[in-house]
Amino acid sequence: MKALILVGGFGTRLRPLTLHVPKPLVEFANKPMILHQIEALKAIGVTEVILAISYQPEETEPLGTAGPLALARDKLIDGSGEPFFVLNSDVICEYPLQEMIEFHKSHGGEASIMVTKVDEPSKYGVVVMQENSGKVEKFVEKPKMFVSNKINAGIYLLNPSVLDRIKLKPTSIEKEIFPKIAADEQLYAMVLPGFWMDIGQPKDYITGLRLYLGSLQRKSPSNLATGSNIVGNVLVEESAVVGDGCLIGPDVAIGPGCVVESGVRLSNCTLMRGVRIKMHACISSSIIGWHSTVGRWARVENMTILGEDVYVRDEVYTNGGIVLPHKEISFNILKPEIVM
């Protein structure tokens, strides 16, 4: 079985993390985002994953979310007539892909999508479906008015015939293709069991980490850190060092090679590879980019996002600062703002 992961786009909403690294390679819970998906695909027997990368030699202009399928047509069709998976690269969940295969077989339509319920549907693709059969009656991308609270989770299983509906030009699968398949009564939606989050924005990334670690706690708790200085669900890469007298958690991921000195307080945050947190610093609801340093007694909070190799001086306070790579911060950031 084959799969295609949409890894193009600019990742603007996750800047400054995406200034150096494409969004799908930004680590989430100590693994590049797309690795979570590739592992899930492999686990159900997918043997070939095509990465649709925007702005690469074969794609001179962004082809949107459907155009890349036309570009990869020959790679996706192998004569077996089997359906293939298409995934957005920035969605995190328990990937019940085997269940999706069963669902797809059971309804016999051309395309299956996973849907999930959210409180704020307007920033997603919204789906109106028949409760029993799952048949999609309407698919509306980012509607201005409330349509339904069930949204497209960005995981599709498509018959090869769907490719006949897509031309090799910039095309949105959500705006141009799904509404037509739905109108032909060939689009079916399966309600995704378990958690789901699009982690393409800082706030959702941090929420997603909480949900992901909660799921890990239920499924494979031995992967989580334990000890008297750990609160709730915490992931510590084995090469990271955590000093004495720290209090870590809940919902923290500490990446490879990180050094957390003594007396540090961490909650709801991610430290990317090679980060150093000096003594008695306190970090909450923030993402600390690769190889950054946070000084002694510094306080970093409220969706502060540090790009790669940022240096926050001792005793500095940052409240929601978005800090570009290679900056040194020697002043307090009192309200959320971008520091260039």
Among 27, 110, 176, 198, binds ligand GDD (CB under 6 A): 198
Among 16, 83, 96, 125, binds ligand GDD (CB under 6 A): 125
Among 29, 40, 64, 278, binds ligand GDD (CB under 6 A): 64
Among 36, 66, 90, 268, binds Mg ion (CB under 5 A): 90
Q: Rounded to whole angstroms, how far apart are CA atoms 120 and 220? A: 30
By CB under 6 A, the residues from 69 to 88 that bind ligand GDD are 88
User: Is position 200 an interface residue for ligand GDD (rule: CB under 6 A)?
Assistant: yes
Helix (H, G, I), strand (E, B) or coil at 83: coil
Q: Quick one: which segment of 146-154, 236-244, 261-269, 287-295 binds ligand GDD (CB under 6 A)?
A: 146-154
Among 109, 154, 249, 320, binds ligand GDD (CB under 6 A): 154
Length of the chain: 340
CB of 53 to ligand GDD, least distance (A): 6
Among 3, 4, 50, 52, binds ligand GDD (CB under 6 A): 52
Ordered DSSP codes for 1-16: -EEEEE--S--GGGTT
Q: Quick one: which segment of 86-94, 157-165, 217-225, 251-259 binds Mg ion (CB under 5 A)?
A: 86-94
Q: Taking Cα atoms as reference points, which of 178, 91, 76 lies closest to residue 137? A: 178
Maximal CA-CA distance, the chain: 63
Q: Rounded to whole angstroms, how far apart are CA atoms 104 and 113? A: 9
Spatial neighbors of 155 by CB under 8 A, at least 6 apart, are 85, 86, 87, 88, 91, 93, 95, 97, 100, 113, 114, 192
Spatial neighbors of 11 by CB under 8 A, at least 6 apart, are 17, 18, 22, 23, 26, 200
User: Is position 63 an interface residue for ligand GDD (rule: CB under 6 A)?
Assistant: yes
CB of 127 to ligand GDD, least distance (A): 9
User: Is position 200 an interface residue for Mg ion (rule: CB under 5 A)?
Assistant: yes
User: Is position 134 an interface residue for ligand GDD (rule: CB under 6 A)?
Assistant: no
Chain residues binding Mg ion by CB under 5 A are 90, 198, 200
